[in-house]
Amino acid sequence: MSRRLKENTGFICQNCGCEVVALTNGSYRNHCPFCLYSLHVDNKPGDRNSLCKGLMRPTGLTYNSKKGYQITHSCQCCGVSQRNKVATNTLQEDDMDEILLL
């Protein structure tokens, strides 16, 4: 089985404390669907190679014609920015009300 599949696991959000389940749409979860915070665990999306592990704050929303809506996260420890796809068509979809507040 692919590494990516194995790493599609649930987690407890370090910002709001909610229990987040793994995505059921074939993608992997990298941010909380309730408060949209993420953790700095990737150097490139999905690689889980970052040693930072800082809390990443959602700072904006962009639209990509290929990938759809993406949330911009910026790390509160090292300041790096990453874009992550909005989670849809899954158990625990991203909270659209929260996204529109970005």
Enumerate binding residues for Zn ion (CB under 5 A): 13, 15-16, 18, 32, 34-35, 40, 52, 54, 75, 77-78
Nearer to Zn ion, 5 or 33 (CB): 33
Nearer to Zn ion, 5 or 45 (CB): 45
Distance between CA atoms of residues 69 and 58, nearest Å: 13
Distance between CA atoms of residues 75 and 43, nearest Å: 12
Alpha-helical runs (H) found in 1-102: 3-6, 96-100
CB of 87 to Zn ion, least distance (A): 13
Residue 97 dihedral angles phi and psi, to the nearest 5°: -65, -40
Instruction: Take residue 50 and report the two structure tokens written for it.
Output: 């970052």
CB of 86 to Zn ion, least distance (A): 15
CB of 94 to Zn ion, least distance (A): 11
Nearer to Zn ion, 44 or 66 (CB): 44
